Amino acid sequence: MGVRRRWQWLIGLIVPALLLALWQGIATAGWAPPSILPSPTLVVSTLLAMLASGEMLNAVQATAMRMASGFALGVAVATVLGGLCGASSLARALLDPLIQALRSVPSLAWVPLFILWFGIFEESKIILVAVGVFFPVYLNLVGGIANVDRKLLEVGRVHGYSPLRRLLRIQLPAVLPAYILGLRGGLGLGWMFVAAAELLGAANGLGFILDDGEQTGRPERVLAALLLFGICGKLTDWALAAFGRTLVSWQDTDTAQGVKT
């Protein structure tokens, strides 16, 4: 089992490697013009050129900053409101219907309003990312708190725990697995929204490279930026999942025993 797990990541590389070979084959055979489908080697050389010029570092840095700020803001607001609505039925009755109604508004539809309110610079992009991150974190937290095992809460009651102490000592630790899932969902949406925000108007960042590649007819730049988005998204998700696993190592599940998701 240990050996199988050790090499499991290699199995996941088989299909991408085959696709890459097929892509290179199509490009080399000239079945698709380079203006439509540049070869993988051209994409790699574009990436290397971007790395050498410092463009890659600047773009990743700008996007990561927007992403980190928006993620932090979205998580903070979702945690406070989710904790409040999960713990207090009054807060839930007051706030949850409004939040659920706002959830049905497509997040990108907020863009014009955010631009009007916060301008075209960083604030509107960060807030758009925060909106994307907010909902999965909030929903997982509220749902998680509501679904905490009544039997565990009764243990708190027989020991005279107040509702606040039950929240802090039982509900919040119990909700941690659902919360981490919410954070991972929020992170994925955050990357999606930062790309959208940058495509709608930015002077730097990976989204800007995507837009620039399209405007100037250089698909190798578009593909290079897509690849970088993918790498950034995967790396941050991997780091968050690894951190989450250490926090919930007490779980008696197959995942907690080390199976990566």
Partner 1 sequence: MAHEIRITGLSKSYGGQPILGPVDLALEAGTITAIIGRSGCGKTTLLRCLGGLEQPSEGQITIGDGRLSRRDVGYVFQEPRLMPWLTVEKNAGFGLIDVAKTSRQQAVAEALQVVGLTAAAQQLPKQLSGGMAQRAALARALAPRPEVLLLDEPFSALDPFTREQMQEHLLHLHHHYGSTMVLITHDMDEALALAHRVIVLAGAPGKIAGDFSPDLPKPVNRSSVAFFEWKKQLTDLLSGPAIHAVPQFEIQPGLQQRRIV
Angle at 196 between CA 194 and CA 198, to 5 degrees: 70
CA 214 to CA 200: how far, in whole Å?
13
Q: In the complex with partner 1, which residue's Cβ is closer, 52 or 252?
A: 252
Helix (H/G/I), strand (E/B), else coil: 235: helix
Query: Among 115-123, 135-143, 162-170, 197-205, which window interacts with partner 1 (CB under 8 A)?
Result: 162-170
Q: Whole-number minimum distance, CB 250 to partner 1, in Å?
A: 4
Binding mask 170-199 for partner 1 (x = CB under 8 A): x--xx-x-----------------------
In angstroms, how far is the first alpha carbon of the chain from the final one? 17
Tell me the window of 26-34, 57-65, 217-225, 243-251 that interacts with partner 1 (CB under 8 A): 243-251
Q: Does 169 bind partner 1 (CB under 8 A)?
A: yes
The candidate with the shortest Cα–Cα distance to 79, out of 161, 184, 172, is 172
Residue closer to partner 1 (CB basis): 165 or 234:
165
Q: How far is the CB of 245 from partner 1 (least distance, A)?
A: 14
User: Count of CB atoms within 10 A of residue 43's CB?
Assistant: 20
Binding of partner 1 by 160 (CB under 8 A): yes
The two three-digit tokens of residue 89, written as one number = 């039925």
Q: Which amino acid is at 213?
A: G
- CB 22, min distance to partner 1, A: 45
Tokens of 230: 């993918």
> Can you read off the two tokens belonging to residue 101?
């109604």
Shortest spacing between CB 85 and partner 1, in angstroms:
23
Residues sharing a CB contact under 8 Å with residue 23, sequence separation 6 or more, in sequence order = 37, 39, 40
Q: Are 197 and 120 in contact (CB under 8 A)?
A: no
64-93 residues near partner 1, rule: CB under 8 A: none
Tokens 């679904």 locate to 147
Nearer to partner 1, 147 or 154 (CB): 154
Under the binding rule (CB under 8 A), the answer on residue 251 touching partner 1 is yes
| Residue of 18, 19, 157, 260 interacting with partner 1 (CB under 8 A) | 157
By CB under 8 A, name the one of 10, 16, 52, 252 that touches partner 1: 252
| Interacting residue with partner 1 among 1, 36, 101, 158 (CB under 8 A) | 158
Q: Which residue in the set 154, 234, 243, 258 belongs to the binding site for partner 1 (CB under 8 A)?
A: 154
For residues 30 and 160, which CB has a smaller minimum distance to partner 1 in the complex?
160
Which contacts qualify for 148-154: CB closer than 8 Å, 24 or more apart? 148/174, 148/175, 149/174
Count of residues touching partner 1 (by CB under 8 A): 19
Tell me the one-letter amino acid at 159: H
Distance of CA 132 to the CA centre of its chain: 9
> Where does this chain bind partner 1 (CB under 8 A)?
151-152, 154-155, 157-161, 165, 169-170, 173-174, 176, 248, 250-252
